[in-house]
Amino acid sequence: MSVETHYLAVFTSDKTGPKWRAWRAMSEAQQAETARLGVAAVAEWEAAHRDSIVFQGGPLGPTKRIDDDGAVTDMVNLLTVFMIVRADSHEAAARLFEGHPHMSIFVCDGVEVMPVLG
């Protein structure tokens, strides 16, 4: 029997990749319509998975990095959206995101799922 655990899910998106190029190629009206459909689909996904969502999280903004010498720099990474879910297994936590609207409608290309330790 498994024990329910919390998992951090981080949606990823290559801001220089094909999904972003396709998004930027859309007109403002097309982007707005896609966003309208996507937001509705995300709300449906969240309602369907409400019992598994521990913390809804949200979109992640621009990144700054500080190194061990104290230098702060702007950087771009793949991290786009985060949330915390609960599931009976690591595999089950990952499977929660199959067909998620952030990947099927919006520009994310994957979700990295890891247990929250401690």
Return the pLDDT at 3.
Answer: 66
Q: What is the mean pLDDT of residues 57-68?
A: 96
**Residue 53 pLDDT level (bands cut at 50, 70, 90):** very high
Q: What are phi and psi of 49, to 5 degrees?
A: -115, 20
Question: Percent of the chain beyond pLDDT 70?
Answer: 97
pLDDT of residue 2: 55
Calpha distance 16→32 (Å, rounded): 21
Q: Which domains does the chain have, with CATH numbers?
A: 6-115 (3.30.70.1060)
Question: Rounded CA gap, 3 and 87, in Å?
Answer: 8
Strand 53-59, strand 5-12: pairing:
unpaired
**Rg (alpha carbons) of the chain, rounded to whole number:** 16
Q: What's the pTM value of the predicted model, to 2 decimals?
A: 0.88
CA angle 58, 39, 25 (to 5 degrees): 100
| pLDDT over threshold 90, residue 4 | no
Tell me: pLDDT of 80 over 70.
Answer: yes
Q: Is 80 exceeded by the pLDDT of residue 29? A: yes
